[in-house]
Structure 1
Amino acid sequence: MTLNYLEQYRRLLSIAEAGIFYGKDPFDKERYEELQKLSLNLISHLGNEPIEKLENIIDSSEGYPTPKIDVRAFIKKENKILLVEDLTTKEWALPG
Protein backbone atom coordinates (compact mmCIF):
# COMPACT_ATOMS: atom_id res chain seq x y z
CA MET A 1 0.00 0.00 0.00
CA THR A 2 1.43 3.35 -1.07
CA LEU A 3 0.77 6.22 1.28
CA ASN A 4 0.12 9.65 -0.15
CA TYR A 5 1.72 11.71 2.61
CA LEU A 6 0.83 15.11 1.15
CA GLU A 7 -2.85 14.17 0.95
CA GLN A 8 -2.81 12.95 4.55
CA TYR A 9 -0.97 16.04 5.82
CA ARG A 10 -3.43 18.29 3.98
CA ARG A 11 -6.30 16.38 5.59
CA LEU A 12 -4.75 16.92 9.03
CA LEU A 13 -4.39 20.61 8.22
CA SER A 14 -8.07 20.79 7.18
CA ILE A 15 -9.14 19.16 10.44
CA ALA A 16 -7.02 21.66 12.37
CA GLU A 17 -8.46 24.62 10.47
CA ALA A 18 -12.02 23.41 11.04
CA GLY A 19 -11.28 23.03 14.74
CA ILE A 20 -9.83 26.54 14.93
CA PHE A 21 -12.82 27.98 13.05
CA TYR A 22 -15.57 26.14 14.93
CA GLY A 23 -13.91 25.50 18.29
CA LYS A 24 -15.41 27.23 21.30
CA ASP A 25 -13.19 25.97 24.10
CA PRO A 26 -9.87 27.87 24.33
CA PHE A 27 -7.99 24.69 25.22
CA ASP A 28 -9.36 22.88 22.17
CA LYS A 29 -8.46 25.84 19.95
CA GLU A 30 -4.93 25.74 21.36
CA ARG A 31 -4.64 22.05 20.47
CA TYR A 32 -5.99 22.67 16.96
CA GLU A 33 -3.48 25.51 16.49
CA GLU A 34 -0.70 23.11 17.53
CA LEU A 35 -2.03 20.51 15.07
CA GLN A 36 -2.04 23.20 12.38
CA LYS A 37 1.62 24.06 13.08
CA LEU A 38 2.62 20.38 13.04
CA SER A 39 0.76 19.83 9.75
CA LEU A 40 2.40 22.86 8.15
CA ASN A 41 5.81 21.65 9.34
CA LEU A 42 5.23 18.21 7.80
CA ILE A 43 4.03 19.72 4.50
CA SER A 44 6.98 22.10 4.49
CA HIS A 45 9.47 19.25 4.88
CA LEU A 46 7.74 17.08 2.30
CA GLY A 47 7.51 19.83 -0.31
CA ASN A 48 10.83 21.48 0.56
CA GLU A 49 9.02 24.82 0.96
CA PRO A 50 9.75 27.40 3.65
CA ILE A 51 7.17 27.15 6.42
CA GLU A 52 6.73 30.95 6.33
CA LYS A 53 5.40 30.70 2.78
CA LEU A 54 2.83 28.11 3.85
CA GLU A 55 1.84 30.16 6.90
CA ASN A 56 1.21 33.19 4.65
CA ILE A 57 -1.12 31.13 2.48
CA ILE A 58 -3.02 29.87 5.54
CA ASP A 59 -3.22 33.36 7.06
CA SER A 60 -4.71 34.82 3.88
CA SER A 61 -7.63 32.38 3.77
CA GLU A 62 -10.72 32.99 5.85
CA GLY A 63 -13.36 30.71 7.19
CA TYR A 64 -13.89 27.01 6.99
CA PRO A 65 -11.41 25.32 4.60
CA THR A 66 -13.67 24.68 1.62
CA PRO A 67 -13.84 26.13 -1.86
CA LYS A 68 -15.37 29.57 -1.71
CA ILE A 69 -18.21 29.84 -4.23
CA ASP A 70 -20.40 32.86 -4.79
CA VAL A 71 -23.57 32.92 -6.87
CA ARG A 72 -25.29 36.18 -7.78
CA ALA A 73 -28.49 36.97 -9.69
CA PHE A 74 -29.25 39.81 -12.06
CA ILE A 75 -32.92 40.63 -11.54
CA LYS A 76 -34.50 43.27 -13.74
CA LYS A 77 -38.17 44.24 -13.70
CA GLU A 78 -39.75 47.31 -15.28
CA ASN A 79 -36.34 48.86 -16.00
CA LYS A 80 -35.33 48.45 -12.35
CA ILE A 81 -32.48 46.29 -11.06
CA LEU A 82 -32.66 44.62 -7.66
CA LEU A 83 -29.65 45.39 -5.44
CA VAL A 84 -28.88 44.49 -1.84
CA GLU A 85 -26.72 46.32 0.67
CA ASP A 86 -23.77 44.35 2.06
CA LEU A 87 -24.02 44.39 5.86
CA THR A 88 -20.25 44.53 6.30
CA THR A 89 -19.04 46.91 3.59
CA LYS A 90 -22.30 48.90 3.21
CA GLU A 91 -21.85 48.66 -0.59
CA TRP A 92 -24.62 47.78 -3.03
CA ALA A 93 -24.39 44.51 -4.96
CA LEU A 94 -26.44 41.96 -6.86
CA PRO A 95 -28.33 39.58 -4.56
CA GLY A 96 -26.59 36.30 -3.89
Structure 2
Amino acid sequence: MLQMLKNARRVAKEKAAQAGEFLRQKSAEVAIGTGTVVASGSSMAQTTSSTMETAAKSGIEAAQASGLTVGGYVVAAVAALVVVGLVIAMVKKL
Protein backbone atom coordinates (compact mmCIF):
# COMPACT_ATOMS: atom_id res chain seq x y z
CA MET A 1 0.00 0.00 0.00
CA LEU A 2 2.77 2.42 0.93
CA GLN A 3 4.58 1.60 -2.30
CA MET A 4 1.44 2.37 -4.31
CA LEU A 5 1.17 5.80 -2.65
CA LYS A 6 4.82 6.53 -3.39
CA ASN A 7 4.33 5.51 -7.02
CA ALA A 8 1.21 7.66 -7.30
CA ARG A 9 3.07 10.64 -5.84
CA ARG A 10 6.00 10.11 -8.23
CA VAL A 11 3.66 9.86 -11.22
CA ALA A 12 1.81 13.00 -10.11
CA LYS A 13 5.10 14.93 -9.87
CA GLU A 14 6.12 13.72 -13.32
CA LYS A 15 2.78 14.75 -14.81
CA ALA A 16 2.99 18.16 -13.12
CA ALA A 17 6.48 18.66 -14.54
CA GLN A 18 5.27 17.66 -18.01
CA ALA A 19 2.31 20.03 -17.74
CA GLY A 20 4.58 22.87 -16.61
CA GLU A 21 6.93 22.28 -19.55
CA PHE A 22 3.96 22.14 -21.94
CA LEU A 23 2.65 25.47 -20.60
CA ARG A 24 6.07 27.11 -20.89
CA GLN A 25 6.33 25.88 -24.47
CA LYS A 26 2.87 27.13 -25.41
CA SER A 27 3.49 30.48 -23.72
CA ALA A 28 6.61 30.95 -25.83
CA GLU A 29 4.68 30.05 -28.99
CA VAL A 30 1.91 32.52 -28.14
CA ALA A 31 4.44 35.28 -27.44
CA ILE A 32 6.11 34.67 -30.81
CA GLY A 33 2.75 34.58 -32.58
CA THR A 34 1.62 37.78 -30.88
CA GLY A 35 4.78 39.58 -31.94
CA THR A 36 4.18 38.54 -35.52
CA VAL A 37 0.60 39.75 -35.41
CA VAL A 38 1.60 43.11 -33.94
CA ALA A 39 4.34 43.60 -36.54
CA SER A 40 2.09 42.76 -39.47
CA GLY A 41 -0.85 44.65 -37.96
CA SER A 42 1.04 47.92 -37.73
CA SER A 43 1.84 47.90 -41.43
CA MET A 44 -1.72 46.94 -42.34
CA ALA A 45 -3.18 49.68 -40.16
CA GLN A 46 -1.67 52.38 -42.32
CA THR A 47 -3.13 50.97 -45.52
CA THR A 48 -6.63 50.16 -44.30
CA SER A 49 -7.40 53.03 -41.93
CA SER A 50 -9.62 54.83 -44.43
CA THR A 51 -11.49 51.62 -45.25
CA MET A 52 -12.04 50.93 -41.56
CA GLU A 53 -13.18 54.51 -40.97
CA THR A 54 -15.74 54.26 -43.77
CA ALA A 55 -17.02 50.94 -42.44
CA ALA A 56 -17.25 52.34 -38.91
CA LYS A 57 -19.19 55.38 -40.05
CA SER A 58 -21.68 53.31 -42.03
CA GLY A 59 -22.10 50.94 -39.07
CA ILE A 60 -22.73 53.83 -36.69
CA GLU A 61 -25.28 55.38 -39.05
CA ALA A 62 -27.12 52.06 -39.39
CA ALA A 63 -27.17 51.63 -35.61
CA GLN A 64 -28.52 55.16 -35.16
CA ALA A 65 -31.33 54.49 -37.60
CA SER A 66 -32.15 51.24 -35.86
CA GLY A 67 -32.05 52.96 -32.47
CA LEU A 68 -34.42 55.67 -33.64
CA THR A 69 -36.83 53.04 -34.93
CA VAL A 70 -36.78 51.12 -31.66
CA GLY A 71 -37.11 54.35 -29.69
CA GLY A 72 -40.19 55.25 -31.70
CA TYR A 73 -41.73 51.87 -30.92
CA VAL A 74 -41.05 52.32 -27.20
CA VAL A 75 -42.63 55.79 -27.16
CA ALA A 76 -45.67 54.49 -29.03
CA ALA A 77 -46.06 51.57 -26.61
CA VAL A 78 -45.84 53.85 -23.56
CA ALA A 79 -48.38 56.25 -25.08
CA ALA A 80 -50.73 53.34 -25.80
CA LEU A 81 -50.45 52.16 -22.18
CA VAL A 82 -51.22 55.68 -20.92
CA VAL A 83 -54.32 55.83 -23.11
CA VAL A 84 -55.45 52.40 -21.91
CA GLY A 85 -54.91 53.51 -18.30
CA LEU A 86 -57.00 56.65 -18.87
CA VAL A 87 -59.80 54.65 -20.47
CA ILE A 88 -59.84 52.17 -17.58
CA ALA A 89 -59.93 55.04 -15.07
CA MET A 90 -62.86 56.64 -16.90
CA VAL A 91 -64.79 53.36 -17.02
CA LYS A 92 -64.29 52.82 -13.28
CA LYS A 93 -65.82 56.24 -12.55
CA LEU A 94 -69.00 55.34 -14.41
Name the TM-score, length of structure 2 as normaliser: 0.26
Q: Radius of gyration: which is bigger?
A: 2
Higher relative contact order (CA 8 A, sep 6+): 1
- Which protein is richer in strand relative to its size? 1
Name the TM-score, length of structure 1 as normaliser: 0.25
